[in-house]
């Protein structure tokens, strides 16, 4: 791919991910366009906005040099169709696997990436058979469109199968074995069309009510061979899907090593720390990858970093603005329960400095809303 300068980049979606992609892409001389149903989404002020009608999206593709998307729920057919007009990255195979839990698990299995035992479930009868095969506890998850813990039910006893099936809306699903994990980790990798690949360090993610609250970067006490193992899994996925752009893999760390949970073919909340915390952010590297530029270094700028999501309410941010090692990002969204409206990155030279800063912030922010 020739090195592209001054590209017009189209993003399907106009939320905070699109906003941060544009904020990373403007210094490289690019321009941005977004698709949005309403003109007040977080990215809308950062480029031309197209509505979501087929004609409008087609016009957008005609005016863009390259396109990308914010969500793994973007229809594969739409990406295929727009790709006949202008290149869309990551291309359709990445979406095809990542937006369906059954296909995703089958791919992990094909590539010898360890994952929870699972069975596909299309009706209540299937569910009862799957419970017998996999054992309990187990997690029932809708095959598509689950996020932030939605569309899931943890089944503890066989008597709960009817309740679980109703709770997930009687939709095609997978039942997967419950993994007893020590920590949740994730890795972000990036590949460009010249097959250059870079990997960020494994990070630790802490959730509350199914929503990411805190990322610690890098995750503490990661043995180099565990980092390498995660990179090998990523490499297998990137190559198999001919992926161009950022790919995120969520993993469980267990007594017996890493177990893959799910992947996202996009920039990810667990990579927001990279904006100030890494030599090149996930957003810049995604833009570099899809516009044919060489990828940037992924090494941390300081030994310790953390990313705190601001969820539901802003709380009192005044102290955060006066801390020299803290960076506040607000997405221009109104407060609403369980909504991601901003994040804060903390950089530190020592574990003690990180802990102290997190402790101070937790006193003024509403961290568990
Ligand atoms: P997911 O939407 O697959 O990322 O799941 C949301 C959260 O549910 C994960 O972050 C885990 O905390 C938990 N979870 C998902 N799958 C499993 C599993 N098989 N065993 C135990 N916990 C799980």
pTM for the model stands at 0.96
User: Closest ligand 1 atom, CA of 176?
Assistant: 19
Q: In ligand 1, which atom is closest to the CA atom of 179? A: 20
Q: How far is the CA of 137 from the centre of ligand 1 (A)?
A: 12
Of 152, 261, 269, the residue with max ligand 1 atoms within 8 A of its CB, to mutate for a pocket test, comes to: 261
Taking residues 41-65, what's their average pLDDT? Answer: 98
3-state DSSP assignment of residue 138 = strand
Q: Assess whether the C-beta atom of 1 lies below 6 angstroms from ligand 1.
A: no
pLDDT for 161:
97
- pLDDT digit string, tens, across residues 269-295: 999 999 999 999 999 999 999 999 999
H-helix or E-strand containing 206?
A: strand 203-208
150 — pLDDT class (breaks 50, 70, 90): confident
Of 46-60, 143-157, 168-182, minimum mean pLDDT range: 143-157
Q: Which of 137, 140, 149 has most ligand 1 atoms within 8 Å of its beta carbon, as the pocket-test mutant?
A: 149
Distance CA 298, CA 65 (A): 26
C-alpha 211 to ligand 1 mean position (Å): 11
User: Is 186's C-beta closer than 6 angstroms to any atom of ligand 1?
Assistant: no
Q: What is the mean pLDDT of residues 17-33?
A: 98
Q: How many CA atoms lie within 13 A of 286 on its CB side?
A: 33
Bridge partners, residue 203, by sequence: 186
Q: Pinpoint the alpha helices (H) of 48-123.
A: 54-63, 76-82, 92-98, 101-110
pLDDT at position 363: 84
Say how many Å lie between the CA of residue 353 and the centre of ligand 1: 31
φ and ψ at 158, to 5 degrees?
-60, -30
Does the CB atom of residue 178 touch ligand 1 within 6 A?
yes
CA distance 249 to 45: 31
Do the Cβ atoms of 148 and 73 come closer than 8 Å? no
Give me ligand 1 centre to Cα 117, in Å. Answer: 13
- Residue pointed to by tokens 């030279």: 349
Residue whose C-alpha is closest to residue 250's, from 321, 299, 202: 202
- Write down the mean pLDDT value for the chain: 96
pLDDT in tens, 69-125: 999 999 999 999 999 999 999 999 999 999 999 999 999 999 999 999 999 999 999
Q: Are strands 138-142 and 152-155 parallel, antiparallel or unpaired?
A: antiparallel
pLDDT interval class at 151 (50, 70, 90): confident
Domains of the chain with bracketed CATH: 8-98 (3.40.50.20), 117-177 (3.30.1490.20), 183-365 (3.30.470.20)
Report d(CA 7, CA 173) in Å as an integer.
40
Q: What would the mean pLDDT of 209-220 be, rounded to a whole number? A: 96
């Amino acid at each position: 791919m020739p090195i592209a300068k001054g590209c017009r980049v189209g993003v399907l979606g106009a939320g905070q991910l699109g906003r941060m992609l544009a904020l990373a892409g403007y210094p490289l001389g690019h321009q941005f366009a977004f698709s949005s149903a309403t003109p007040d989404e977080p990215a809308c002020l950062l480029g031309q906005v197209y509505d979501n009608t087929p004609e409008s999206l087609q016009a957008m593709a005609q005016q863009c040099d390259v396109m990308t998307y914010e969500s793994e729920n973007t229809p594969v057919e739409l990406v295929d169709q727009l790709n006949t007009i202008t290149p869309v990255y990551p291309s359709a195979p990445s979406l095809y696997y990542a937006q369906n839990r059954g296909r995703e698990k089958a791919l992990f299995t094909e590539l010898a990436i360890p994952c929870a035992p699972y069975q596909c479930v299309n009706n209540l009868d299937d569910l009862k058979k799957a419970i017998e095969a996999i054992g309990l506890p187990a997690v029932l998850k809708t095959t598509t469109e689950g996020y932030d813990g939605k569309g899931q039910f943890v089944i503890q006893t066989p008597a709960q199968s009817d309740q679980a099936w109703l709770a997930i809306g009687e939709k095609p699903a997978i039942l997967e074995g419950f993994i007893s994990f020590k920590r949740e980790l994730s890795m972000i990798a990036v590949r460009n069309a010249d097959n250059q690949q870079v990997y960020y360090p494994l990070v630790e993610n802490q959730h509350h009510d199914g929503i990411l609250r805190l990322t610690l970067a890098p995750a503490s006490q990661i043995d180099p061979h565990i980092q390498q193992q995660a990179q090998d899994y990523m490499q297998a996925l990137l190559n198999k899907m001919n992926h161009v752009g950022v790919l995120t893999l969520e993993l469980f760390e267990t007594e017996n090593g890493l177990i893959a949970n799910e992947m996202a073919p996009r920039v990810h909340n667990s990579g927001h720390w990279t904006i100030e915390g890494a030599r090149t952010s996930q957003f810049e590297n995604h833009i570099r990858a899809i516009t044919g530029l060489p990828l940037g270094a992924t090494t941390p700028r300081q030994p310790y970093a953390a990313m705190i999501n601001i969820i539901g309410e802003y709380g009192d941010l005044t102290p955060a603005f006066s801390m020299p090692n803290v960076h506040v990002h607000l997405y221009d969204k109104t407060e609403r329960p369980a909504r991601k409206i901003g994040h804060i990155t903390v950089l530190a030279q020592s574990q003690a400095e990180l802990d102290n800063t997190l402790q101070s912030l937790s006193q003024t922010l509403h961290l568990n809303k």
